[in-house]
Amino acid sequence: MNILLELFVVTFRVLWAFVLAAAKWLVRPKEKSVAGQVCLITGAGSGLGRLFALEFARRRALLVLWDINTQSNEETAGMVRHIYRELAEAAPKVAGDGEKDVLPHCSLQVYTYTCDVGKRENVYTTAERVRKEVGEVSVLVNNAGVVSGHHLLECPDELIERTMMVNCHAHFWTTKAFLPKMLEMNHGHIVTVASSLGLFSTAGVEDYCASKFGAVGFHESLSHELKAAEKDGIKTTLVCPYLVDTGMFRGCRIRKEIEPFLPPLKPEYCVKQAMRAILTDQPMICTPRLMYMVTFMKSILPFEAVVCLI
């Protein structure tokens, strides 16, 4: 009897999940506010990381930017400060005993840190500095990533290790650094910028696929752990874009027959879609939507059929 009851409960929950998902398709959820919250972005010096920083800045988040390249990181910070100045100038005035901005410019700040996320101790040391100098992080965007661009037998061992450390292991270190306070407050958001190549693989990028598969597995397991701990105030979003035209994948090609239908994504489009998912607490976003179908087909088709498609 208990088994039948448990089966009924599980079936009901599964069906209810479908209902809620359908409802979100019909009624677009309202975006949440991140104004004044501390948002940390790794790999913020260029590519998607820089665009994420600009999008969060436009939403008045307090930015903490990590990158191994100090100069490019400062360039991103300069762009963020420019957005902050525009927001301060556009803020309406409030009459009273001395006019003041509703959102004073001084409340919007950006902090930069040079950090190699592939090195565990560097992550922990920099995280401690952030806590002391800025405060507790509310939004963690694990975005930093590298691509070796070599076939397995042509790829030096050092590059393989580097890919795994930055694309996968770093997610463990940054999350361990900032999750405890999120758990204590039951508030926060962890974003994992993975890849469609973390859901299905292709030839010639073995280390990259392995690292992104690891990042996806880490994120999904973490999400299950938070759910089991009933920490519903901590949200997670997995971002799995197709190849993005940021220069990282220069020279990476897919099947010629498919390439006209799946050109590399514009980074601005990718980040816009990801931001929409993050701000509506969407658990996962694949860009473009065709990636959902590819992932599904990989699960049901014979291996040789998958080889023909990818």
Q: 294 and 200 in contact (C-beta within 8 Å)?
A: yes
State the pLDDT at residue 269. 93
Answer whether residue 4 is part of any domain.
Answer: no
State the pLDDT at residue 61. 96
At 226, list the tokens: 């938070």
Which is nearest to 191 in space by CA: 31, 41, 34?
A: 41
Determine the Cα–Cα distance for residues 120 and 129; give it in Å rounded to an integer: 15
Q: 42 and 143 in contact (C-beta within 8 Å)?
A: yes
Phi, psi of 241 (to 5 degrees): -85, 155
Per cent of the chain over pLDDT 90 is: 61
Domain that residue 286 falls in: 33-88+106-309
Answer whether residue 77 is part of any domain.
Answer: yes
Q: Which of 84, 113, 208, 242 is catalytic?
A: 208
- The CATH number of residue 169's host domain is 3.40.50.720
Q: Under DSSP, is residue 154 helix (H, G, I), strand (E, B) or coil?
A: helix
- The question of whether 292 is a catalytic residue gets the answer no
Indicate the number of domains in the chain.
Answer: 1
Q: What is the dihedral sign for C-alpha 207, 210, 214, 220?
A: positive
Answer whether residue 145 is part of any domain.
Answer: yes
pLDDT over 90 (residue 260): no
Helix axes 267-279, 47-58, angle to 10 degrees: 50
DSSP conformation class of 192: E
Answer whether residue 20 is part of any domain.
Answer: no
Higher pLDDT, 105 or 212: 212
Phi, psi of 260 (to 5 degrees): -65, -25
At 155, list the tokens: 């790829």
Answer whether residue 300 is part of any domain.
Answer: yes
Find the range with the poorest average confidence among 126-140, 254-268, 292-306.
Answer: 254-268
> Sorting pLDDT into bands at 50, 70 and 90, what band is 166?
very high
Answer whether residue 2 is part of any domain.
Answer: no
Q: Under DSSP, is residue 236 helix (H, G, I), strand (E, B) or coil?
A: strand
Answer whether residue 101 is part of any domain.
Answer: no
Q: What is the pLDDT of residues 14-23, one digit of tens each?
A: 877 777 767 7
State the pLDDT at residue 123. 97
State the pLDDT at residue 149. 79
**Mean per-residue pLDDT, 123-142:** 97
> What residues does 157 pair with on adjacent strands?
none
Cis peptide before 241 (omega within 30 of 0): no
Q: How buried is residue 116: exposed, middle or buried, by Cβ count under 10 Å (0-12/13-18/19+)?
A: middle
Q: What is the pLDDT of residues 98-126, one digit of tens each?
A: 444 444 445 789 999 999 999 999 999 99
Answer whether residue 194 is part of any domain.
Answer: yes
pLDDT over 80 (residue 57): yes
Query: What region, left, alpha or beta, does residue 149 occupy, with left being phi > 0 and alpha being psi -120 to 50 degrees?
Result: left
